[in-house]
Structure 1
Amino acid sequence: MNSFLAFGPILLMWSCHFKVSGSNVTEDILDDYGATVDYDKYISPCDKDGNRNFRSWFLPSIYSLICCLAILGNFLVILTYLYFQRLKTMTDMFLLNLAMADLLFALSLPFWAASVITKWNLGLVPCKAMFAIYKISFFSGMFLLTCISVDRYFSITKAVSAHRCRSSAAYYGRIASVATWAIAVVFSLPEIIYSNVSANQTCEPYSKEHENLRFSMQISQMVLGFVLPALVMIFCYSCIIKTLEQARNFEKNKALKVIFAVVVVFVVTQLPYNVVMGLSTQNTTVCDYDNSLLYAMDVSRSVAFLRCCVNPFLYAFIGVKFRNDLLKLMKDLGCLSQRYVIYSYGKRKSSAGFETETTTSFSP
């Protein structure tokens, strides 16, 4: 009996070795206790080659398009405001800072494209700067959009009290803008501290040792960068719509269209990305689901990045006063003829000569 106990494990190991190395190899292999092992239950490496190939051509293409449009649009906004010294209201100050934030982010997009195409060979400082610029421009942009909606709320629903504070509006706008940038820099500190170049030469915001911090930052970004601005915008624009509904001139229809466009663009560009980002905070071992989530993250993030080239057209170019200033600027730069500018300005003035301070404050 004792000899069997001594040689039993040796015989068992020999039989397993013979079964595996024989000519008829089966998928059922005995474990150390003689039970059949089903290897389908074990986690195998998830193949992500399809996602890598997709993002290698999709992300650089969409980033290049966004970069060109954002640089052109936001540069024209900044140039127009500075050329005509058009910083007389809080909305003007917020729009200028919003264009600066979007332009700053657009200038970082070539680095995002480079990080997708090839390995990161630019060093640690550009890696940290890329993620920090994104977070600073993201939070500052969202907070400035919130400030714009609040300013328009007071300008339209509280027109009398807002007119009394008109002389100091630009001053308070500067203070609010500086505070917005300062808060955005504070929220970007984790990216500045923890961004690093990994061993396989990729620029990553968080390493595997800081997964919990990454999840916490994603949740805070969703709350502070989407949920809070969305709630403020819904409240402000709902009150604005009620006020405009009481107006009797047909100019309110144009203002309502602007409000609808603002809300739709904000929801369409930001909601999918925040939903996917929320799903990515959950740990999963299903390969197909993980790959689908990666595709959704790449597409939704690209759509969210579109905001930096849509904001100039939505918040600045749609305003009558700003369009007139832009036409004058194009004429001074030699891009448009004097006859075209006079014709366009006179046509808009004849069709919108009844505009009040309320409508122009909503459409700067």
Structure 2
Amino acid sequence: MDRYRTFRAWFLPAIYSLICLVAVVGNFLVILTYIYFKRLKTMTDVYLLSLAIADLLLALSLPFWAASIVSTWKLGLFPCRAMYTIYKVSFFSGMFLLTCISVDRYYSIAKAVTAHRCRANAVYYSKVSSLVAWMMALLFSIPEMVYSNINSNGTCVSYGTVFQKEKTIMQVVQMVLGFGLPAVVMGFCYCSIIRTLAQARNFEKNKALKVIFAVVAVFTLSQLPYNLVLGLSTRENTNCDYENKLFYAVDITQGLAFVRCCVNPFLYAFIGVKFRNDLLKLMKEMGCLGQHRFLYASYGKRKSSAGLDTETTTSFSP
């Protein structure tokens, strides 16, 4: 157990600090780019902006997670509950927003005729559905608001030893409704999209989907291990060796789950050509990029990807 305490005392604060720094800068630039260039022109733009806000909120809570590990919790009950609540709100809002993106892409590609009829009100629908996603995320986070507490040993925990039964029930419900059901919906949508594109032999004209596929893949791969380990931790076990391994697994997968909040900006920048160009324009206007470097970054590489500017953008037309 001493080895475990030593491990988490250096591993988690270090990785949380790094993630926080990268995620705050990256997601702030994403939000600033969307707002500055008024890029909220499609449903997916609205969803990706909301996703960046969720990631930024999670990143801002990471210093509190690091503080909870380095020493006993001295910040009071409200910050303790807020820390766990923000993670759950970020997790569930991210899951629901990605589901909305998947449904949007499904209708835009597999049900193009139906989507065209609703095109005029698409942005309005996206704002309403984003608001619903946030409200549902808050609803799913109520257990953290209620049961998070400070133990007698001075540690901030999401469920105390008194609420183990409630913890098991709520984690099962959250896994099924907040993770499993959206994953099934996303799986159906993307299978239908791939089948439609394969039949139309139209993969090359939908390279913009690479951004969405990448975002969904990163979210799933980063969140699934942590949620599976949390599920295992709800089972009673008297094997000390198994419990010790589970402690390590929770910490490592939790660190992986938090990495998600700093990866998406890199996906937009490296895969989305239009977003990358808008970001370069923003940096130039802020004085962070000289004219020569801006021209080289914007146009020097465009020759090798001529004609793909609209295909790999993070903006999508319904």
Q: Normalised by the size of structure 2, how large is the TM-score?
A: 0.90
2:92 and 2:137 in contact (8 A); partners too: yes
Aligned residue pair count: 317
Task: Note if 1:62 corresponds to 2:15.
Answer: yes
Structure 2 counterpart of 1:241: 194
Deviation for aligned residue 1:357: 7.4
Residues 335 and 184 of structure 1: is their aligned pair in 2 closer, same or farther, counting only changes over 3 Å? Answer: same
Structure 2 counterpart of 1:195: 148
Task: Note if 1:71 corresponds to 2:24.
Answer: yes
Task: Note if 1:294 corresponds to 2:294.
Answer: no
**AA partner of residue 201 (structure 1):** G
Deviation for aligned residue 1:315: 5.0
**AA partner of residue 39 (structure 2):** R
Structure 2 counterpart of 1:214: 167
**How many Å separate the matches in 2 of 1:123 and 1:157?**
51
Deviation for aligned residue 1:155: 1.9
2:115 to 162, 168, 183: 162
Q: Cα deviation per residue 1:283-336 (whole Å; 9 max; x = unaligned)?
A: 001100000011111111111111111122335652222122111111111122
| Higher RCO (Cα < 8 Å, 6 or more apart) | 2
Structure 2 counterpart of 1:103: 56
Task: Note if 1:124 corresponds to 2:100.
Answer: no
2:302 to 316, 325, 348: 348
Quote the sequence identity (%).
67
Q: Cα deviation per residue 1:252-277 (whole Å; 9 max; x = unaligned)?
A: 58457556534542342122212212
Residues 198 and 156 of structure 1: is their aligned pair in 2 closer, same or farther, counting only changes over 3 Å? Answer: same
**AA partner of residue 136 (structure 1):** V
The alignment yields a C-alpha RMSD, in angstroms, of: 2.5
Q: For residue 312 of structure 1, give the secondary structure of its aligned residue in structure 2.
A: helix
Q: For residue 52 of structure 1, give the secondary structure of its aligned residue in structure 2.
A: helix
**How many Å separate the matches in 2 of 1:167 and 1:300?**
43
Deviation for aligned residue 1:152: 1.6
> Relative to structure 2, which stretch is displaced further, 247-256 or 99-108?
247-256
Q: Cα deviation per residue 1:87-139 (whole Å; 9 max; x = unaligned)?
A: 11111111111101110010000000000000011111111111111111111
The gaps in structure 1 that reach 5 residues or longer are 1-47
1:242-261 mapped onto 2 (5 Å cutoff)? 242-248=195-201, 251-252=204-205, 254=207, 258=211, 261=214
1:1-364 mapped onto 2 (5 Å cutoff)? 48-248=1-201, 251-252=204-205, 254=207, 258=211, 261-315=214-268, 318-346=271-299, 347-348=301-302, 351-353=305-307, 361=315
**How many Å separate the matches in 2 of 1:327 and 1:163?**
32
2:30 and 2:49 in contact (8 A); partners too: yes
**How many Å separate the matches in 1 of 2:178 and 2:303?**
38
Q: Normalised by the size of structure 1, how large is the TM-score?
A: 0.80
Residues 90 and 259 of structure 1: is their aligned pair in 2 closer, same or farther, counting only changes over 3 Å? Answer: closer
**How many Å separate the matches in 1 of 2:313 and 2:80?**
44
1:320 and 1:363 in contact (8 A); partners too: no
2:197 and 2:203 in contact (8 A); partners too: no
Q: For residue 136 of structure 1, give the secondary structure of its aligned residue in structure 2.
A: helix
Residues 363 and 260 of structure 1: is their aligned pair in 2 closer, same or farther, counting only changes over 3 Å? Answer: farther
2:82 and 2:145 in contact (8 A); partners too: yes
> Relative to structure 2, which stretch is displaced further, 95-104 or 340-349?
340-349
**AA partner of residue 114 (structure 1):** A
**How many Å separate the matches in 1 of 2:136 and 2:303?**
41
2:207 and 2:312 in contact (8 A); partners too: no
Q: For residue 271 of structure 2, give the secondary structure of its aligned residue in structure 1.
A: coil
Q: Cα deviation per residue 1:21-42 (whole Å; 9 max; x = unaligned)?
A: xxxxxxxxxxxxxxxxxxxxxx
> Relative to structure 2, which stretch is displaced further, 65-74 or 112-121?
65-74
> Relative to structure 2, which stretch is displaced further, 106-115 or 196-205?
196-205
